């Protein structure tokens, strides 16, 4: 079915409303921009009003103490950041754990001989 045309008007592709004037910049109903630049209205969401924080989003004192102890064990923040970088390069914590297990098994196998 062919699209109807009206002289001196154009149809909004978003809401199919007819807009007066061929030089109109926006649809008055849905604010569709005819000039090709779609205006995005920012949507502000209040995180605390919509959903309560999850248990994974909160930081406990025991977690802070564990990280502080690890930083002291490794030898400072710089070395700890290097360690985190190595974990990322390897492919994550699970992969790092698998590699450490494989290396420890290989080391135990060589010292037992």
Rounded Cα gap, residues 107 and 77, in angstroms: 29
Rounded Cα gap, residues 27 and 33, in angstroms: 7
- Residue among 1, 18, 93, 51 nearest 9 (CA): 18
Question: Per residue in 64-73, pLDDT tens?
Answer: 999 999 999 9
Given this model, what pLDDT does residue 66 score? 92
**In 10 A of CB 27, how many CB atoms?**
20
Question: Per residue in 9-32, pLDDT tens?
Answer: 888 888 888 888 776 778 888 888
Given this model, what pLDDT does residue 72 score? 93
Given this model, what pLDDT does residue 45 score? 58
pLDDT class of 58 with cuts at 50, 70, 90: confident
pLDDT over 60 (residue 112): no
Domain ranges of the chain: 8-36, 59-111
């Amino acid at each position: 079915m062919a699209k109807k045309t009206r002289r001196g008007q154009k149809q909004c592709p978003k809401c199919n409303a007819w807009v007066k004037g061929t030089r109109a910049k926006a649809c008055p109903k849905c604010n569709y921009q005819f000039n090709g630049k779609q205006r995005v209205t920012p949507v502000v969401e209040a995180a605390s009003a919509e959903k309560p924080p999850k248990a994974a989003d909160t930081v406990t004192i025991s977690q802070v103490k564990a990280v502080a102890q690890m930083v002291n064990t490794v030898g400072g923040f710089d070395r700890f950041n290097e360690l985190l970088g190595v974990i990322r390069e390897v492919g994550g914590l699970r992969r790092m754990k698998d590699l450490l297990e494989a290396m420890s098994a290989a080391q135990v196998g060589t010292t037992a001989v």
